[in-house]
Amino acid sequence: MTEPLTDPDQVSRYVFERNVRFADIDSLGHVNNVRFFDYLEDARVAMLWDRPREVEGRRQDLVVARHEIDYRRALTFRTEPVRVEVWVTEISRVRFTLAYEIRDDETLYVEARTILVAYDAASARPRRLDEDEILFLKRFYAAS
């Protein structure tokens, strides 16, 4: 039997509030499909910025390997922000997967996934996630 990555009672989603800008709206009056990637990026960067950026003189870079997005409902201009909720669904030695929901209290607008790969910019090659990075990610782990 495998041991869970973390105590399910300790798992939390990272929550990022994002304003819907007028510039996000397309000619049909709703948020343009491409703008949702900006929402995901803003939340992902805010979440991952809480981890160490450099360890023992080595940068802890990450690169996006894949994005998937499912549009559930149209999002229109509004004055109150939407929530971008982020959590980790998979962790391996060199990559991990983030899942997202863009929502408010009543409506789910988007479900998405991003695969990120640990990257060594100096060698331009993938690298292994270190133990501190894995521990950081486990704070947000919930199997899909």
What CATH number corresponds to the domain at position 111? 3.10.129.10
What is the tens place of the pLDDT at every residue in 11-65?
Answer: 689 999 999 999 999 999 999 999 999 999 999 999 998 776 666 666 789 999 9
Query: Is residue 2 situated within a structural domain?
Result: no
How far is it, in rounded angstroms, from Cα 31 to Cα 109? Answer: 10
Tell me, yes or no, whether 29 lies in a domain: yes
Q: Collapsing DSSP states into helix, strand and coil, what is residue 135?
A: helix
Query: Contact 21/31 with Cβ under 8 angstroms?
Result: no
With residues binned 3-state (H G I as helix, E B as strand, rest as coil), the percentages for the chain, rounded to 5, are: 20, 40, 40
Q: Is the pLDDT at 144 greater than 60, yes or no? A: yes
Whether 97 is covered by a domain: the verdict is yes
The residue range of the domain holding 75 is: 9-138
d(CA 131, CA 136): 9
The reported pLDDT for the residue numbered 143 is 76
Cβ contacts of residue 135 below 8 Å, gap of 6+? none
Give the amino acid at 45.
Answer: V
Q: Are 48 and 54 in contact (CB under 8 A)?
A: no
Q: State yes or no: pLDDT of 81 exceeds 80.
A: yes
Q: CA 52 → CA 56, 58, 60, 97, distances in Å? A: 11, 11, 8, 19
Please count the structural domains in the chain: 1
Does residue 102 form part of some domain? yes
pLDDT 10s digits, 91-130:
999 999 999 999 999 999 999 999 999 999 889 999 999 9
